[in-house]
Amino acid sequence: MPGARLLFSLDPAVAHLNHGSFGAVPIAVQRAQQRLRDEMEANPLRFFTRGLSERIAYTRRHLATFLGAEPDGAALVGNASTGTAVVLQSLGLRAGDEVLLTDHGYGAVRLAVERESRRAGAVYRTLAVPLTATDDEWVAAIRSELRPGRTRLLVVDQLTSPTARLLPTAAISAAARSMDVPVLVDAAHAPGMLPTAVREVGADFWVGNLHKWAYAPRGTALLAVAERWRSRIEPLVVSWEQDAGFPLSVEYQATLDYTSWLAAPTGLFTLRTLGLDAVREHNTALAAYGQQVVGAALGLEPAQLPPPGGPSVAMRIVPLRRGLASTIDDARALRQRISDELATEVAVNAWGGRGYLRLSAQVYNRAEEYDRLAERLPSMLATLG
């Protein structure tokens, strides 16, 4: 979008094509957070003891309303990983229970499930779903693996991180609900990017980051919980608002720096000022363009480029040749080399034994950045064995 780059403090010498990993905070939001930090440091006692809980609740209501979640049934948390940890420890897993994941899920979530299962004597299983699976095939595959009475939690992504697939989470949640299996939707990429309201997903637990696509400072996420679970939710750290119950018991963590949460509404104001529909249309179209030009440069036909699974997806993946970046360590090494040699930030993921380049698009990006990557990337990859 014309002039949008000026809203951010990004290094102009670098092409930032990986907004999906850590986002980018607009300058106006940075300044709003700094004013809050100044307020906090001017009188810490006043900041933490006079009206902080009310300010947090106001922010929560603002963000939850934007996301289509029930304000009293949601809590602010640091990120999607934190929300996942809260859910896992609140479930009360026992020996013989199981948690079902898919192989499209985020690695840190799998590690969290692995740790909680080990502590409880439970088990977890990972369901492999083809990259080309249709929505109906996704629902059927998951339904066939659920075990009522034993499967205590299904974890599924709204938009997958390694494969950039938009999943039919509402249909998946309905299928699981019919078998009395709770669902946690990892919606790390949903806020700001996807128009779907939280209530439409119908999950027992939903957690999404606002620092990626909603222009909030990092450390801002929302955990939405279905009514039947709210009385069972326990915070990771017990503090003075423990007796208040969910959501405040989860939100209030003593001397946590709350300025990222309190500045988050400024991020939504920035997004609305740009025009939510205009931002989504720009990002979706530019991500598709980037996938096409980079894919063509690597010798891929349009049919070989995985579709995102739905509209409004501002991330696309490009398959790399087999044997390249097929492990996590190799993928990280390639990402760093692209950064160092091509002055371009991208995501590189190893999934299903193959490497994939993941491209994001945001309002500060321009088509020529993807053109430049397409021109330079093939020769660099040719030097790799």
CB crowding 155-174: b at 16 or more within 10 Å, else e = bbbbbbbbbbbbbbbebbbe
**Reported confidence tier of residue 385, pLDDT bands at 50, 70, 90:** low
What's the angle, vertex CA 47, arms to CA 223 and CA 26, rounded to 5? 55
What number of CA atoms fall less than 13 Å from residue 358's CA on the CB side?
Answer: 23
The per-residue pLDDT for 381 is 96
3-state SS, residue 169 = helix
> 85: which 2 tokens?
């940890």
pLDDT digits (tens, 9 = 90+) for 173-190: 999 999 999 999 999 999
Helices (H) and strands (E) in the chain, counts: 14, 12
**Reported confidence tier of residue 234, pLDDT bands at 50, 70, 90:** very high
> Residue with structure tokens 């993928």?
331
pLDDT digits (tens, 9 = 90+) for 147-182: 999 999 999 999 999 999 999 999 999 999 999 999
Average pLDDT for residues 307-329, to the nearest whole number?
A: 94
Residues of the chain with pLDDT > 70, as a percent, come to 100
Average pLDDT for residues 265-280, to the nearest whole number?
A: 97
pLDDT, averaged across the chain: 96
Give CA–CA dist 56/59, Å, rounded: 5
Name the residue with higher pLDDT: 307 or 336.
336
CB 218 within 8 A of CB 175: no
Rg (CA), the chain: 21
3-state SS, residue 350 = strand
**Reported confidence tier of residue 2, pLDDT bands at 50, 70, 90:** confident
pLDDT digits (tens, 9 = 90+) for 55-112: 999 999 999 999 999 999 999 999 999 999 999 999 999 999 999 999 999 999 999 9
CB 284 within 8 A of CB 292: no
Give CA–CA dist 254/148, Å, rounded: 39
The per-residue pLDDT for 1 is 78
| Dihedral over Cα of 277, 279, 282, 285: its sign | negative
pTM: 0.96
Average pLDDT for residues 299-326, to the nearest whole number?
A: 94
What's the angle, vertex CA 58, arms to CA 52 and CA 63, rounded to 5? 125
121 alpha carbon, distance to own chain's centre = 29
Residue type, 237: V
pLDDT digits (tens, 9 = 90+) for 17-48: 999 999 999 999 999 999 999 999 999 999 99
Could you tell me the domains of the chain?
28-269 (3.40.640.10), 275-382 (3.90.1150.10)
Q: Where are the alpha helices (DSSP H) in the chain?
A: 19-22, 27-42, 44-49, 52-67, 80-91, 107-120, 135-145, 169-178, 198-201, 248-251, 259-274, 276-297, 328-342, 367-382
Helix crossing, 169-178 with 135-145: angle to 10°?
30
